[in-house]
């Protein structure tokens, strides 16, 4: 078929979270995200850049994403004759880092191509291994332990299958012990977002007694070797997030036994093509994956759902209902979960939900067309 993008429009929107979200690197109360709209033959495809508001999770943030897409990625993609969306990532791979900016654009082209073919995005990427996505939730650091216990209670009552709690030095062993006392049998895991170093190994070893499913990214965001050294000392499986930015890094990390589970985030690896390669590397190594989240609005959330239909996404991920984040989402209907804690996959073309363009317009703080 071939695909040639005729116009790329960036929309920056502002959305307050219904509840603040705190990790070891900081608290977020309001999201500022960049949406990427690509057009060809009168059809629009949409992507969402998953960068945060500050360069604390990785090197990217809203402002850098805007500039990278506008000045570096979009000009390389615009009016270029692609055989298919698979080739878009390679066309911007000369950009060092900034995978989320690159990935927002790449995902938009996949969505556009799916729409041109009249296919749901999940089919177009080769997914469809399941009709329902098993969902977990990621619960941030709270102001108090009772508040955390209350949140866990609420999420379990909503049907969520797995609880992830954020940890950092000072909010770890004692807090997890209290969670385990109250909820001895739940699927529980912890995410440190790189808050520890190998010197903390004795402290992290204390977590082995709590039967966690995994501990996510305990060590530095760009560190693989130390994770291998730590994994050798822990019973709890390590799940890698920040430090897996490509299929090549995934292959190296798994070969070293730096982790036994991989969190795949579409943006972090630069889009669907690379996400699928990471998925395949892990599958070949016998390592399960799950779909991470970056507090996405509806477009990113819908893309994550499509991704999580690939066969090796066998563990509940961090993709959950829109209402946990937003009073009103930018898509219609909002993403909802079943009482069993799953999201039903939709069969409409593209990412499967309608865009609320009027609402997007009303929360946009800037818009720019590259053509
Ligand atoms: O490490 O998975 C993470 C949110 C922002 C930045 C990093 C992470 C997260 C989450 C939230 O854990 C996942 C979500 O609910 O979208
Ligand atoms: Mg994480």
Query: Could you read off the pLDDT of 27-63 as tens digits, one per residue?
Result: 999 999 999 999 999 999 999 999 999 999 999 999 9
> Is 284 annotated as catalytic?
no
Instruction: Please indicate whether residue 295, judged by its CB atom, sits closer than 6 Å to ligand 1.
Output: yes
- Delimit the domains of the chain by residue range: 3-118+356-370, 124-344
What's the CA angle centered on 343, arms 99 and 28, to 5 degrees?
50
pLDDT band of residue 17 (cuts 50, 70, 90) is: very high
Residues with CB under 5 A from ligand 2 (ion): 191, 216, 241
Out of 161, 164, 168, 265, pick the active-site residue.
Answer: 265
Predicted confidence at residue 1, as pLDDT, reads: 75
- Residue carrying structure tokens 């939709």: 346
User: What does each C-alpha distance from 311 to 129, 223, 259 come to in angstroms?
Assistant: 5, 28, 20
Q: What average pLDDT does range 206-211 have in this prediction?
A: 98
Q: Could you say which of 3.90.25.10, 2.40.50.140, 3.30.390.10, 2.40.110.10 is the CATH number of the domain covering 3-118+356-370?
A: 3.30.390.10
* CA of 295, closest atom in ligand 1: 16
CATH 3.20.20.120 fits 124-344, yes or no: yes
Residue showing tokens 């994994």? 231
Tell which residue, 172, 93, 126, has the closest CA to residue 279: 126
251, 243 Cβ separation under 8 angstroms: no
* Cα(64)–Cα(67) distance, integer angstroms: 5
Ligand 1 centroid distance, CA of 146 (Å): 22
Distance from the alpha carbon of residue 59 to the mean position of ligand 2, in angstroms: 15
Ligand lying nearest the CA atom of residue 33: 1
| Cα(69) to centroid(ligand 1), Å | 22
Nearest to 22 by CA among 130, 131, 157, 171: 171
- Nearest-CA residue for atom 6 of ligand 1: 294
Instruction: State the pLDDT confidence band at 371, using cuts at 50, 70 and 90.
Output: confident
Annotated catalytic, 166? yes
């Amino acid at each position: 078929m071939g695909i040639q993008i005729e116009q790329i429009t960036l929309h920056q929107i502002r959305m307050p979270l219904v509840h603040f979200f705190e990790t070891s690197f900081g608290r977020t109360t309001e999201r500022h995200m960049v949406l990427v709209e690509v057009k060809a033959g009168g059809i629009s495809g949409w992507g969402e850049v998953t960068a945060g508001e500050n360069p604390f999770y990785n090197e990217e943030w809203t402002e850098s994403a805007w500039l990278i897409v506008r000045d570096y990625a979009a000009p390389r993609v615009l009016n270029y004759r692609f055989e298919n969306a698979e080739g878009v990532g390679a066309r911007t791979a000369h950009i060092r880092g900034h995978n989320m900016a690159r990935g927002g654009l790449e995902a938009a082209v996949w969505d556009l191509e799916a729409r041109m073919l009249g296919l749901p995005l999940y089919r177009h990427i080769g997914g469809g291994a399941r009709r329902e996505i098993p969902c977990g939730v990621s619960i941030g650091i709270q102001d108090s332990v009772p508040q955390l216990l209350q949140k866990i209670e609420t999420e379990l009552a909503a049907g969520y299958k797995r609880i992830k709690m954020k940890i950092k030095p000072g909010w770890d062993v004692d807090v997890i012990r209290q969670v385990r006392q109250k909820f001895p049998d739940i699927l529980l895991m912890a995410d440190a977002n790189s808050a520890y170093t190998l010197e903390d190994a004795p402290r992290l070893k204390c977590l082995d007694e709590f039967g966690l499913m995994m501990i996510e990214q305990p060590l530095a965001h760009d560190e693989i070797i130390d994770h291998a050294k730590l994994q050798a000392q822990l019973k709890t499986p390590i799940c890698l997030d920040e430090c897996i930015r490509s299929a090549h890094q995934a292959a190296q990390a798994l070969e070293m036994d730096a982790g036994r589970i991989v969190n795949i985030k579409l943006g972090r690896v630069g889009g669907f093509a690379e996400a699928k390669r990471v998925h395949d590397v892990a599958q070949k190594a016998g390592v399960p994956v799950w779909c991470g989240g970056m507090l996405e609005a509806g477009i990113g959330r819908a893309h994550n759902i499509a991704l999580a239909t690939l066969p090796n996404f066998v563990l509940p991920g961090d993709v959950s209902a829109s209402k946990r984040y937003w009073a009103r989402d930018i898509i219609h209907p909002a993403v909802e979960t079943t009482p069993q804690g799953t999201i039903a996959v939709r069969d409409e073309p593209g990412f499967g939900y309608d865009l609320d363009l009027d609402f997007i317009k009303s929360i946009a703080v800037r818009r720019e067309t590259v053509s």
